[in-house]
Amino acid sequence: MKLTSYWLDTSEPFRSAASGPIQGNYDVAVIGGGLTGSSAALALAKKGARVVLLEAETIGNAASGRNGGMCNNGFAQDYGMMSAKLGKDVANRLYRAFDAGVDTVERLVAEENIDCSFARVGKIKLAAKPEHYAKLARSQELLAANVDPDTEMVSRADLANEVGSDRYHGGLIYRKGAGMHVGRFVRGLAEAAARRGALIHEHTPMTGLRPAAGGGHDIETPKGKLHAKQVFLASGTSRIGPLGWIRRRIVPVGAFLIVTEPLPTTTLDRLVPKRRMAVDTKNLVNYFRTTPDNRLLFGGRARFAVSNPASDEISGAILRDALHEIFPELRAARIDYCWGGMVDMTRDRLPRAGERNGIYYSMGYSGHGTQMSTLMGTIMAEVMDGRTDLNPWKDFTWPAIPGHFGPPWFLPLVGAYYRLKDKLV
C-alpha cells in the first residue's frame, strides 16, 4: 500500500518548471500552484500579462492533487437551509456559480486538450438514514422549482440501479456533476499556462511580501526577490510565508482516501453501475467513485485530524472498515493507495475571494473546490483587470474565527461533536 496520492502517482510530473534565480518585474505574481493558481496563471497569460507563479512544493501537491477528483455542482449544505439563510436570489446565484465551475472545467479540458478522463456521469447524494431521505426529497423539490430541474430522487426500492449496497435509504441525483483524473487536470492547466508564457517555479515558497515604495509588491523567496504590480494568493491551507490574516480565517481539516486494486468490470457494474460520483449524508461524510483504470476510490473525514503519514494510515484503516461495511464483497480486495490532504474550511463552509490591502485572494473552498477553484482562478484574472462584478463572493465579509490563531487545536472536539450528531440525527 502506497502512502501517496493515487492522482499524483498516476500522472506525469509537471515538465515545464522555470529554472534559475528568482528576479525581475512582473504584472502578476500568483502564490500557489494548485487548481486556483494554475487556472489563474493560464487566464492571466492568455490576457497578455507577464505572470510568475510560485509553488512551495510541486504543482498540485497539496489539496488540488489529494481530493476525490469529483467535479460536482450544488452546495455541500442543504439547498433549503441556504435559501433561508442567504435569501433565494443569493442562494440561486451561488448555486449557478457551482454549475459554472463544472462548465469551466469542461471547457478548459477541451480547449487545452487535457487528457484527464473528464466525464459528466452525475452525482448521487445517498441517504444514510430513513429520515435523511425525506430531507433530501424536500431539497430536491425546492431545487427543481427554483434553480436545478436536472435533479431526481431515487427511492430505496430503485437504488440498486445506482449503488450495489443495502446500507442506504435512497438518494438525490444531480445530473450536472462530473468526475476526472484531477492530477492530470491540474498539471495540464499548469502546462497550458507555461505554454502561454507564465513562468512557474516549483520548490519556491514565498517568504516575504511587502508593498513597494513605487507601487506594487516586493516578494522574497529562498531563491531571490521579484517585484509584481499585482499579487494573487491561491495558497489555501499553506503554513508558509506571511499569511497570518488568512490563517485566522481558514481551518485546515484532514480529508483521507483509499483506492483499491483494479477491479473486474463485472464487480463495478454491480457496485456502481452508472459510475456516478457518490457521497452520503453523514456529518463525518463518506464518498466513493471509480477511477479511470477501474479501481474504487473511497474517502471521507475518517477523523478530524491533520494529515501526515501516521495519521493517514490510521485514517485509512477506518476507511477500509467503512468500505467493507458498505461493500462487503470488497473485503478481499487489496488496498493499493492511502493518503490524506488538508481541506481549507471556512466557518460557514463557503469560499471567500476578493482584495485586501492591494492583494487579491481566493480560497476556503471547504471540500468542494475542484470546480469552484478552477472557476475562481479564471474569474479572478478578470477581477484583477477591474471586473469586480464577476466575483460571486464579492459581498461576503470574512471575520476571523474566534480562538483560532494557528494550529487547529479544537479539531478533536469538532470531530466528537459530529460523531455524536451522526448517532443522534
Q: Would you state the pLDDT for residue 411?
A: 62
pLDDT tens string 259-286: 999 999 999 999 999 999 999 998 788 9
Could you tell me the three cell numbers for 173?
441525483
Looking at the chain, how many residues does it have? 425
Average pLDDT over the chain, rounded to whole? Answer: 93
The C-alpha R_g of the chain, in whole angstroms, comes to 21
Q: How far is CA 82 from the centre of its chain?
A: 20
Which residues, 6 or more positions from 374, have their beta carbon under 8 angstroms from its beta carbon? 35, 36, 39, 101, 104, 105, 108, 189
Task: Write down the pTM of the prediction.
Answer: 0.95
Judged by DSSP in three states, 50 sits in coil
Q: Helix (H, G, I), strand (E, B), or coil: what is residue 417?
A: helix
Question: Is residue 172 pLDDT above 60, yes or no?
Answer: yes
Please give the full DSSP string across 84-130, using - where no structure is assigned. Answer: HHH-HHHHHHHHHHHHHHHHHHHHHHHHTT--S--B---EEEE-SSH
Task: Report yes or no: 54 and 206 within 8 Å, Cβ to Cβ.
Answer: yes
Mean pLDDT of 112-120: 98
Predicted local confidence at residue 371, as pLDDT: 96
| Cα 315 from Cα 297, distance rounded (Å) | 14
Which tens digits make up the pLDDT trace of 363-393? 999 888 899 999 999 999 999 999 999 999 9
Quick one: how many helices (H) and strands (E) in the chain?
A: 11, 18
Q: Which residues, 6+ apart, have CB-to-CB distance to 60 below 8 Å? A: 7, 8, 14, 33, 34, 35, 38, 182, 183, 186, 187, 190
Q: What does the pLDDT average to over 284-301? A: 94
For residue 418, what pLDDT is reported? 54
Task: Kindly tell me if the per-residue pLDDT of 413 is higher than 60.
Answer: no
CATH number of 6-414: 3.50.50.60
- Predicted pLDDT of residue 219: 97
Rounded to the nearest 10°, the torsion over CA 62, 63, 64, 67 is 130
Matching residue, cell 471540500: 367
Structure-block grid coordinates of residue 406: 494557528
Q: What is the pLDDT of residues 75-92, one digit of tens each?
A: 888 999 999 999 999 999
The one-letter amino acid code at 316 reads G
- Range name among 66-70, 243-247, 331-335 with the lowest pLDDT average: 243-247
Checking if the pLDDT of 424 tops 70, the result is no
Query: What average pLDDT score do residues 216-225 get?
Result: 97
Lowest mean pLDDT among 113-122, 198-207, 298-307: 298-307
* Greatest C-alpha distance within the chain: 68
| Rounded average pLDDT over 6-19 | 97
Identify the weakest region by mean pLDDT among 70-74, 179-183, 405-409. Answer: 405-409
pLDDT surpassing 80 at residue 256: yes
Q: For residue 58, what pLDDT band results from cuts at 50, 70 and 90?
A: very high
pLDDT of residue 145: 97
